[in-house]
Chain A
C-alpha cells in the first residue's frame, strides 16, 4: 500500500524560529513535492524534487528551502518562520514513469507560527 508520512500532524513555532518539516515515502518514487494549502487558495506548489539532491522552485518558494539527501526523504525548511507561513503543508510523491496527474499525498502538517 502506497504510503507518504509526515513527521508531525500539528506544529506550533515562534516567529523567527527555523522549522523543519519531514516527509518520507516508501514507494521508491523519484518525484517528491511540497505544497501549502490555504482556504480559498487551493494547493500551491512550494518546491519539488525529481531526484536525490535535485530541487526545483515551484510557484511560491520565497521563505522556504528544501533538502533531499535520500530518495525516500524530502525536507521542507522554513529558515525564519513568519506568521504568514501559518498553513497546512502537504507532501506528495509520484513515480517518474507513472501517470502524470497522479500524486500520492501525506496527511499534512498544520503549522502555526505565533
Chain B
C-alpha cells in the first residue's frame, strides 16, 4: 500500500516554465513532508521540507505548497532550468528518527528542455 501518492510519473517542461509535482497522503500522523532530488547516477538528496502547520515554504526557485485539509502537497519549480532535470520524490515522515518513518512517493522524472 502506497502511503504517499505522487503524480505525474514524468514531466517535460520548457526552460523558464513552471514545473509542478503533486503528492497526496492519508495518514494524519505524518508531520514532515520533504522532497528529495535525484540526478542520474546519484542517490537522492534532500531538497526542501515543510511542516503541516505551514501552507507554503520557499527556497529560491523551489516552493512547497501544503493543503492540510485536502492532505495534499506539491512542489513548484519556478523558472525551470535544464539543470533541474532530475527525478523528484515526495515523502512523508512521522517525526522520529531511526525507525521506518520515511515513506516515499513513486517519483517524477522531470525533463527541462532548453
Contact = CB atoms under 8 A, between A and B. Distances in A.
Interface of A: 4, 30-31, 40-45, 48, 50, 56, 58-59, 90, 92, 94-108
A98 B45 CA distance: 15
A66 to B, nearest CB: 14
A50 B99 CA distance: 7
A100 B96 contact: yes
B104 A94 contact: no
Interface of B: 2, 6, 9, 32-34, 41-46, 49, 89, 91, 93-102, 104-107
Contacts of B107: 40, 42-43
Interface of A is mostly: loop
Contacts of B34: 101-102
B22 to A, nearest CB: 14
B104 to A, nearest CB: 4
Contact of A100 (B42, B45, B89, B95): B95
A58 B100 contact: yes
A44 B106 CA distance: 9
A41 B106 contact: yes
B98 A31 contact: yes
A85 B89 CA distance: 22
A96 B105 contact: no
22 contacts: A4-B43, A31-B98, A42-B89, A42-B104, A42-B105, A43-B44, A43-B107, A48-B99, A56-B100, A59-B100, A94-B97, A96-B97, A97-B97, A99-B32, A100-B94, A100-B101, A101-B49, A101-B93, A101-B102, A102-B34, A102-B49, A103-B46
A31 B97 CA distance: 8
Contacts of B105: 42
Contact of A106 (B43, B93, B95, B97): B43
B7 to A, nearest CB: 12
B99 to A, nearest CB: 7
